[in-house]
Structure 1
Amino acid sequence: MSWTRCRLGHRHWGPHGAAGLLLARDGTALLQLRATWAHRGGTWSVPGGAIERGESALRAALRETEEELGVAGAAVRTAGSRVADCGGGWTYETVLGVPADPGATLAVRDLAESAGHAWVPAAEVTDLPLHPAFRAAWADPDGVLRDFVAAS
């Protein structure tokens, strides 16, 4: 994958856009601490990354979550998404999901690009040093991400 510029000249990772998975359960969100060597390393966000050519945002979000936290796509039930557009045509889609089996223990482990992970209560998400784009999405007045986690 590579960096790209949208019509407004903003620099983004992934020429086909990017996607991530916001996994929620019991009023908490599964967040990932980005490895220090990754872009905006040392910040918290959802697992995610560039969408590959011909790949859907849903597939990309599930693939990235498996690559970064070891959570298999089959262990997730999706429940919609939220698309953020930079205004220049580049988009980041946050796929919303919950564990497919709410009673099962979800195996999560830190793999590529992950320096840690935590199930964070919705009310405490903004207490963390968040990736700037995730902070903006979380704080958006539409409340989609906050409401989804709080209602899980």
Structure 2
Amino acid sequence: MRGDGDGWVVSDTGQAFWGRHGAAGLLLRAPGPDGSAAVLLQHRAAWSHQGGTWGLPGGARDSHETAEEAAVREAYEEAGLTPDQLVVRMSLVTKEVYGVGNEYWSYTTVIADAREMLPTTPNRESAELRWVALDEVADLPLHPGFADSWERLRLACVSLPLLVNPPL
């Protein structure tokens, strides 16, 4: 189902950003096999914008949604994760730009925890979904926007204790 957020915002430098009302993605963490945090990443389908790179399940915000609501909705659409499987911990605006006519656009990364590395069901926007150890994320060919924010997000993940048994 298409929402009212689908569409591009063109920055004052001519660069296009997806989401008429901004965009959001979910950085879902869970205990890995050794107990340390693993995160769920999406290998973007070849046909998609920046296809072939790794990033987060996410996409355009609709006008009526908070960033948290949009990120959770996108995780459901792109990975089959339901809201009752995760606990939102924090949100970080990881990109802000102004468009033509002073139109504001932002990308918000929502960090959430799950009890375990949940099974996923990719949609057509994903070539693959994979749980990746925090220390291995930077080894993948990352989506440029995600790559630009990864160090800040990694530090937030390290400083925010993983809820091993989050109240769901």
Normalising by structure 1, we get a TM-score of 0.88
* Local SS of the residue matching 2:88: strand
- 2:107 is aligned with what amino acid? Y
Q: Deviations over 1:75-120 (max 9, x none)?
A: 1100011102334231000000001xx15x6231211301101111
2:86 to 76, 82, 99: 76
Rounded Cα–Cα distance in structure 2 between residues aligned with 1:29 and 1:52:
25
Aligned residues: 145
Rounded Cα–Cα distance in structure 1 between residues aligned with 2:79 and 2:50:
18
Identity score, percent: 41
What 5-or-longer segments of structure 2 have no aligned partner?
Answer: 1-5, 32-36, 99-103, 163-168
**Cα RMSD (Å):** 1.6
2:111 to 83, 96, 107: 96
Rounded Cα–Cα distance in structure 1 between residues aligned with 2:139 and 2:112:
22
1:121 to 128, 133, 143: 133
Normalising by structure 2, we get a TM-score of 0.80
Q: Could you tell me how far 1:134 is from its partner in structure 2?
A: 0.2
Question: Residue 28 of structure 1 contacts residue 149 of structure 1 at CA under 8 Å; is this kept in 2?
Answer: no
* Local SS of the residue matching 1:96: strand
> Which residue of structure 2 aligns with residue 5 of structure 1?
10
Rounded Cα–Cα distance in structure 1 between residues aligned with 2:106 and 2:64:
15
Q: Residues 1-152 of structure 1: matches in 2 within 5 Å? A: 1-26=6-31, 27-88=37-98, 89-99=104-114, 102=115, 106-139=118-151, 143=152, 145-150=153-158, 151-152=161-162
Q: Could you tell me how far 1:8 is from its partner in structure 2?
A: 4.7
* Local SS of the residue matching 1:25: strand
* Local SS of the residue matching 1:53: coil
Question: Residue 8 of structure 1 contacts residue 87 of structure 1 at CA under 8 Å; is this kept in 2?
Answer: no
Rounded Cα–Cα distance in structure 2 between residues aligned with 1:146 and 1:122:
7
- Mark the structure with the bigger radius of gyration: 2
Rounded Cα–Cα distance in structure 1 between residues aligned with 2:119 and 2:95:
32
* Local SS of the residue matching 2:81: coil
